[in-house]
Amino acid sequence: MRAARGLPVALIFLAVAAAALNLRAGIASVGSVLDDVLTSFGVSGSYAGMVTALPGVCFAIMGLAAVPIARRLGLARTLLSGMLLTLVGVAIRPWVNDAWVFLGLSALVVAGIALANVLLPAWIKLHGGRHIVTLMTLNTAFLGVSSAIGPLSAVLYEGPDGWRRALFFWASIAVAQVVVWVIVALRTGYDFPASQRAAGESRGPSLLKAPTAIFLMLFFGMQSMNAYVQMGYLPQIVVDGGGSANLGSLAIAMVGALNILGGIVMPKLVDKLQTLTPTVIILSAFAVAGYLGLMFAPASLALLWGVVLGLGGWAFPTALALIVARSRAPEVTARLSGFVQPVGYVLAAAGPMIIGLVYTPDSPNWTPILIGLIAASALQGIIGARASRRGFIDDELAAHGA
């Protein structure tokens, strides 16, 4: 059985699963060993802020570059190039002894992931045929798997240098991804839509003229900030609250585990529901409740707050599904993804960076930080209600002469 553009359906599903499985593990695995990394390199909390802000910064930069690169190389080839960057970073990063080299290699990991974040939805739209909703469900579900299992490698490897082996564990997953996408790239060749090449050359109306695109970008940024704060700092919040490092790892793994379920449920709901307003407000309320719980019982009920925050994290598969659902043509999907994710990740980077500046490992005080996160989560719900309104961004662009 083949999809609309000639690729076997089984290969398309395998390619999406392999890519999605690598979309968070290389990032989420760092948070659970962050304290060991800081100790090993002898660096301060501000370095932790840079490490945890790195995903947002790199996603913003590479997200802006993703569509122009794909226009030149093709979607599959650009995705493969990013996967090679991730493989190099994941394989070498654990064995360096310099904090800044570690940071640079982490940037390679995240840069490669960023290309897939932006371009995989467009690749699915182009090659998925009648399986698009199912493939988006697979994408977000396996992305949740990646978030859930990423921190667990820290549980497998303990000891002074256990963090190195915990991070290197993910190199094998990165190798498998590259193998699959080499086959995809060879079979598809140059696969960037001709209509989008023409659109890029003609410089159509800016997506800033599409209100839904703006609100979707803000919604994506707010939920991403929550996600990366949790991946970077939730284990540390638990530890500073009196819990063990393993408990912190399990708490963030619970967040990822719930995202698996969210990845299965939300694309279908986004496709079927006439209004998503109550849904996005409820998701925001879960995030608020999770942060309140961490404020008052960070260790004793850590796993419960991991579950609650995981339910709030369903905002992420919602945002990804909306990129596809609120655009009609594959080229608009690529353009929208290249707008929503880079700008959104600038917002996402701000949260971890600010926390890194105010967090002091010697005398940690998470209360003001958690209050800020509660306010941000409430705002996320308000913005998400507008971002999820039914309609096509294609039509909003057409109204401006696209």
pTM of the entire predicted model: 0.72
pLDDT in tens, 96-130: 999 999 999 999 999 999 888 888 988 998 888 88
Max CA separation in the chain (angstroms): 61
As a whole number, mean pLDDT of residues 154-175 equals: 87
As a whole number, mean pLDDT of residues 121-149 equals: 85
Asked if residue 285 lies in contact with residue 381, where contact means CB atoms within 8 angstroms, the answer is yes
In this structure, which topology does domain 9-398 adopt according to CATH? Answer: Growth Hormone; Chain: A; (1.20.1250)
Whole-number pLDDT of residue 204: 60
Whole-number pLDDT of residue 67: 81
As a whole number, mean pLDDT of residues 48-58 equals: 79
pLDDT in tens, 195-206: 555 444 444 677
